[in-house]
Amino acid sequence: MTRFALLRKVSVLVLLVAGINLPAQELSFLGGLMNESNPRQSSYTWQVDYRQDLYEYLAASAAYLNEGHVPGHHRDGTAFELWGRLPFDQDSFALSLGVGAYYFYDTQLLPGGDSANIHGTAPIFSLSGTGYLSDRWFYRIMVNRINPANDIKVNTVAVGVGYWFGKGGKPTRGNLGDAPDEHGYVTENQLTVFGGQSVVNTFLSQQARAYAIEYRRGLMPHLDWTLSGIYEGAPQIIRRSGVATQVWPVNTFFSDRVAVGLGIGPYFYIDKKHPVSPAQKIPAAVAPLLSLGVSVRLNDDWFVRAVWDRVTTGYNRDSDIFLVGLGYSWAR
């Protein structure tokens, strides 16, 4: 499956979920240990997990998983899972079994010192135990088994804390976030200017200052569209810039003052350090761009936004772009 085919499938899944009124939203941060099966090696792991109840005993999740560093491999990725849930002790504790797909990025060392960015999909099997400390706070223990056909097979064990987002002190079935009316909040026109850092996914992790500008507009409740100009700086082995357009399933919390979203779309770029064929006049290409963003309103007009972009290339020059910006919004 090409990365563009995978992008289309994930886009459809996320957009379908964004259009459903779902109850509880649980966000957790976990850290622990990773163990590679063969040869036997270990490293650290950390994970950010967003889980949403679909029914009383069924949930879905999207997670970012970093598997640490073992010799020859720096791997991370995104997992999408369905969970069966079994509550105990009047719902103060729950065991959950998850199964799904893990799309990974593995930076591998090549002879001569260069790096290869290997992309692939693997099944992931998970077991979690969640203890609810209050209406909003909980702790979670997570065990994952990642089992790709042509890459390292690993187990991860992590422990962390989480927070339930939503209206009121307990999950309210039928609400997505805490939109103030039955139609839901639709994002206004927004313009944001960003500064930050780009990191190329090699074993040397070359870095540079990065900048971006973004126009955003809500298409409907819980769905935004953006047009962005991105400059990734000049981190020695790339000099890349371009234009991206994305759709963003979004969720709002705390009376619409906080918004969280996942952006998916194409990134049209020029890399002036990428060698081209004689028939190619300019080093232009297109790559999938996957983004995670959060914004916090300062007042009715101004807000701050943080965005993490992942650029997935076909020539071993994947990158992460970390941006923080100040934005202005105006009426539709």
Q: What is the pLDDT of residue 129?
A: 96
Q: Return d(Cα 217, Cα 57) in angstroms, integer.
A: 36
Compute the radius of gyration of the chain from its Cα atoms: 20
What is residue 224's DSSP assignment?
E
In CATH, the number for domain 22-165 is 2.40.160.20
- Residue 170: its H or E element: none
Q: Is 222 exposed, middle or buried (0-12, 13-18, 19+ CB in 10 A)?
A: buried
For residue 332, is pLDDT > 80? no
The CATH class, in words, for 189-330 is: mainly beta
What is residue 48's DSSP assignment?
E
Q: What is the pLDDT of residue 80?
A: 95
Q: Return d(Cα 87, Cα 178) in angstroms, integer.
A: 25
pLDDT tens digits, 57-98: 899 999 999 999 888 889 999 999 999 999 888 778 999 999
Indicate the domain borders of the chain. Answer: 22-165, 189-330
pLDDT over 90, % of the chain:
59
Q: What is the pLDDT of residue 150?
A: 87
Q: Return d(Cα 327, Cα 332) in angstroms, integer.
A: 15
Torsional class of 233: left (φ above 0), alpha (ψ -120 to 50), beta (otherwise): left
Average pLDDT, the chain: 85
If pLDDT is split at 50, 70 and 90, which confidence band does 269 have? very high
Whether the CB-CB separation of 22 and 154 falls below 8 Å is answered with: no
pLDDT tens digits, 315-331: 889 999 999 999 999 98
What is residue 169's DSSP assignment?
S
Nearest to 304 by CA among 208, 229, 192: 192
The encoded tokens of residue 106 equal 């593995």
Nearest to 24 by CA among 227, 235, 228, 177: 177
Single-letter code of the amino acid located at 182? E
State mean pLDDT over 229-253: 92
Single-letter code of the amino acid located at 31? G
Whether the CB-CB separation of 118 and 318 falls below 8 Å is answered with: no
Reported pTM: 0.82
| Fold match flag (22-165 vs 189-330) | yes
State mean pLDDT over 41-53: 91
Beta bridge partners of 106: 75, 118
Q: Return d(Cα 187, Cα 217) in angstroms, integer.
A: 6
Whether the CB-CB separation of 175 and 166 falls below 8 Å is answered with: yes
